[in-house]
Structure 1
Amino acid sequence: MSSKVFRDKVFPPHVSDLMSLMHMVVFEGTDGEERWTTYLTLEEKECVALGLAKYYQCEHCIEHHTKVIQKLGHVDEDTLNRNMNSLVLFLRTDIERISDTERNRWIQAWQEYALKIGMKRGDENIPYLIGLAVGIARDDSFLIQFCGDMVKKILLERGIEPRAAIGELESVVIFMKAASSKNRVASKIETLFV
């Protein structure tokens, strides 16, 4: 099962295999033998992964998830990067540290931009899924509530159980935290052995 996505000269092979298995389970809903019900599309999960990769500034993860999204959605890399960068810039704002009028303007601007991106991607949920994922990743109560409420609304309109879909989103967040942490430091650790 070894995958070069998680392979380097220091990372233990059995842990690399475990990360590869987790990647399959999280993104494909299978361990290679058994298959589980998934509630988010692969494109939604990949967009969330790319948003988190940009948030974490993990070049390896950005490159990997950009390629996957391009294959899935026939979108050019420049447009994808511009849109994801803008979403992540929005999400870097700490709402707890701004005034009420700034918060109201942030909400209005976010909703306008999220609608624009959602319409372009053909999925209004993607920006809110990314926002909720970043909120979960950094334990941001505002983003969890704000984006989570919209995600629940959209999922219910689609007849999808929100608890199950948000649980699946949480698994993407956990995987990306581990993968980006590993990938960002691999080359630095390797310098210890040069």
Structure 2
Amino acid sequence: MTLRINLFPDPNMANTIFKCMPVRCTADFPTVSGFRWLRATTRGSGDIYAQYLLAGANLPKAGVYHIHAICYAQGSGALFRVYAGFGNGFTLLNETGIADNQTKIIDADITIPANTTQLLIRVMPPSTVNKYILIRDILLESKSTYDTAVGGGFRASSPGIRCRVSRRDYRAGDVR
């Protein structure tokens, strides 16, 4: 059995020790349908984003990784990006657009180069003031241990879909 390890320090969006850094937007952490999200809401103009910075002990070693996240956008032009930083420059490793009123599952492979000193996981809300992007379930895992059949473990079941059982199997307050 291969051990799977999520290398992202705050997949449940607690924002306690490992903090999100907003730029020209506000960041809050609402709970929607039982899931905690990072919400970045546009408050200004220019380069608008909220990001997590992985460096030092939180920086994964050079290699191939799988990045997974769930994003939702209210407004057009929202983006999910991953950057590798080297000294004074950055290289874009992944970019995924999220359309207005769309939930998008990010599933991508990225290669972290050997000379990387920082890894940025960034969401960019739409440029219209008061529009936002939501993100949850961030997974950063070695490609060699990622199980594509499971999809990172976040989509294994859907509690809102009823099972095919007879009425006598229902209990008060139970979905099944």
TM-score computed with the length of structure 2 as normaliser: 0.32
Task: Return the index of the structure with the highest Cα Rg.
Answer: 2
Higher strand share: 2
